[in-house]
Chain A
Amino acid sequence: GAGVSQSPSNKVTEKGKDVELRCDPISGHTALYWYRQSLGQGLEFLIYFQGNSAPDKSGLPSDRFSAERTGGSVSTLTIQRTQQEDSAVYLCASSLVLAIKETQYFGPGTRLLVL
């Protein structure tokens, strides 16, 4: 079946612009997660959703970052007034349910470059 998909696969933007990243989880997966991976760094957790609810937003790096999920499926991560340090690969993952030992399946990521 189809895996997690993300769009766009690559995004180049100018500093100060807003960007919107999209994630389509595996059908039927109720939990969704956003991470980012900077060059040479480990994955950094950003936020997770159980259904449409995001109980913990503390992982978002700044108030320029926001995420939403509608209909328990597609999620968007929005970065306002992008900065060069926002350049990274943004990865989305989904799991069948929200449980610590539940396998997370990752999408191919969106490579964001802020000039």
Chain B
Amino acid sequence: DIVMTQFPDSLAVSLGERATINCKSSRSILYSSNNKNYLAWYQQKPGQPPKLLISWASTREAGVPDRFSGSGSGTDFTLTISSLQAEDVAVYYCQQYYNTPENSFGQGTKLEIK
């Protein structure tokens, strides 16, 4: 199984500042035949289901604000919120969908306002 590890576990950022969440996979999730990284980012607010923000490591879903961006390749990935808004307080998860879904989610990163 591929193990996904996020860091930090929690993060406090001031409003308007940049927030960066990292995700590392235990082996590459870059598929060489199509040059795509099989990595998704989700946002989960209390009492709500997860919301898909980014697929293929860097493709924003429709309607997701452009302050959210994803980057990285191979085994190391980053979710960046360029200017933190109050409504961005949530837990963020990365997920690999490269192969078997067992243990496919990271443990989550809790983002709070400083």
Partners in one complex: no
